[in-house]
């Protein structure tokens, strides 16, 4: 352990951590006393970045492997100007959350799924990736080291952001010679802060998120800057987010900028099938299982924009938004409204998912990982 990290541990140790003997790396990890919280206005948490204490970092080795990672103070990272990520966008991100239960226990939700997705993405982007075990361990370490930033029950969660980036220098277009796996975290508020806040979505006819054969099915950082224009144009007109259409027919809906989309008609819930142009959300997958258990019929298939306009209810899913009901969709100047409020399908799904995530509803699926 470097002197810098040790010094920072003892610095915060006086404030809120107990520091154990620094004989081994593990033994020197910060130990959190439950009663202590970071100085945050927990009632007004938004979805922005709050700086926390620690981040995790590991570098790839020559053997297609990653070194054992380390926690260090949260701060800037140094990069070669020729780093693969800066020049050619070789990078992936992930998003997962840590939750605090009523009894103070801390839970992660299906972190292995994020680790598997990072491996699939790394294969697509010609990057080395950490093992699923190292990924999950890094997420746990980051959550626990920043434990005082995990919001009190009901106030939000600790959003955890793993990154895999090509940090080795490369001039010609080819995979970077070295990769860095980095994990940081920020407390975020509940999406449904003011009760139900239904989304108003805009269907974009001009900009597409991805195309067949592209990288839309993986969480590549290259998928996101190109949609900023569509998002900002929609936001200027008062919309919450954009729904993208397939780029070939401009007829089938795909998803929103960072969440998957579902529609409800009677007892049937439909969502676009993942065929490489849609990100396979872990929330999407979980909601499909929950909905089936609750007795709904769930279809994964091609869904046309016309069907979306004729649905009874629409909602989106993602780690950041959890389950967000959609109040309206606007397409080609036509605006349709959907059922919102208590008792709608998305509310039932939302309550079940969150109940499982915070340990209030029995986890029949073995999704929740308690961390110590």
Ligand X SMILES: *Cc1c(COP(=O)(O)O)cnc(C)c1O
SS3 332: coil
Site membership for ligand X, residue 246 (CB under 6 A): no
- Applying CB under 6 A, which of residues 318, 330, 331, 352 lies at the interface with ligand X? 318
Site membership for ligand X, residue 281 (CB under 6 A): yes
The whole-angstrom separation of Cα 142 and Cα 184 is 7
* Interacting span for ligand X (CB under 6 A) from 23-31, 62-70, 268-276, 315-323: 315-323
The whole-angstrom separation of Cα 17 and Cα 6 is 12
Nearest distance from C-beta of residue 30 to ligand X, angstroms? 28
Crossing angle for the helix pair 282-293 and 111-124, to the nearest 10 degrees: 130
Nearest distance from C-beta of residue 260 to ligand X, angstroms? 5
- Applying CB under 6 A, which of residues 97, 147, 155, 284 lies at the interface with ligand X? 284
Nearest distance from C-beta of residue 174 to ligand X, angstroms? 26
**Set 97, 140, 155, 219: catalytic member:** 219
With contact defined as beta carbons under 8 Å apart, do 16 and 36 qualify?
Answer: yes
- Tell me whether strands 241-245 and 199-204 are parallel, antiparallel or unpaired: parallel
Supply 50's token pair.
């709050």
Nearest distance from C-beta of residue 98 to ligand X, angstroms? 14
The whole-angstrom separation of Cα 47 and Cα 189 is 6
In the region spanning residues 60 to 99, those forming contacts with ligand X, defined by CB under 6 A, are 95
Supply 253's token pair.
């809906």
Active site residue 219: yes
Q: Would you say 115 or 318 has its CB closer to ligand X? A: 318
* Interacting span for ligand X (CB under 6 A) from 15-23, 129-137, 172-180, 311-319: 311-319
With contact defined as beta carbons under 8 Å apart, do 98 and 157 qualify?
Answer: yes
Angle made by CA atoms 279, 283, 288, in degrees to the nearest 5: 100
Residues labelled as active-site residues: 219
Interface contacts to ligand X, rule CB under 6 A: 95, 219, 255, 258-260, 279, 281-284, 317-319
């Amino acid at each position: 352990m470097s002197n810098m990290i040790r010094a920072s541990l003892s610095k915060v140790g006086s404030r809120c951590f107990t520091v154990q003997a620094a004989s081994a790396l593990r033994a020197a990890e910060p130990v959190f006393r439950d009663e202590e919280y970071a100085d945050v206005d927990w009632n007004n948490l938004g979805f922005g970045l709050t700086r926390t204490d620690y981040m995790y970092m590991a570098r790839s080795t020559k053997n297609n492997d990653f070194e054992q990672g380390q926690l260090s103070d949260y701060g800037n990272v140094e990069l070669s100007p020729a780093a693969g990520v800066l020049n050619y966008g070789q990078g992936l991100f992930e998003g997962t959350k840590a939750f605090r239960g009523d009894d103070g226990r801390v839970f992660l939700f299906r972190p292995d799924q994020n680790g598997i997705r990072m491996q699939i993405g790394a294969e697509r982007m010609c990057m080395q990736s950490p093992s699923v075990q190292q990924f999950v361990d890094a997420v746990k370490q980051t959550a626990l080291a920043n434990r005082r930033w995990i919001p009190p029950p009901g106030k939000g969660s600790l959003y955890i952001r793993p990154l895999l980036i090509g940090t080795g220098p490369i001039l010609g277009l080819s995979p970077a010679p070295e990769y860095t796996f980095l994990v940081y975290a920020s407390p975020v508020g509940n999406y449904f802060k003011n009760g139900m806040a239904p989304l108003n979505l805009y269907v974009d006819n001009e900009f597409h998120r991805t195309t067949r054969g592209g990288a839309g099915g993986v969480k590549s950082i290259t998928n996101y800057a190109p949609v900023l224009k569509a998002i900002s144009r929609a936001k200027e007109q008062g919309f919450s987010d954009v729904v993208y259409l397939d780029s070939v027919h401009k007829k089938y809906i795909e998803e929103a900028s960072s969440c998957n989309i579902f529609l409800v008609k009677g007892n049937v819930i439909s969502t676009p099938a993942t065929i490489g142009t849609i990100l396979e959300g872990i929330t999407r997958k979980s909601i499909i299982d929950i909905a089936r258990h609750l007795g709904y019929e769930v279809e994964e298939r091609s869904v046309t924009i016309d069907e979306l306009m004729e649905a009874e209810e629409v909602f989106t899913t993602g780690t950041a938004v959890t389950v967000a009901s959609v109040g309206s969709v606007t397409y080609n100047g036509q605006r349709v409204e959907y059922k919102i409020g208590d008792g709608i399908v998305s509310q039932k799904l939302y309550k079940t998912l969150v109940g499982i995530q915070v340990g209030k509803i029995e986890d029949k699926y073995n999704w929740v990982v308690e961390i110590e």
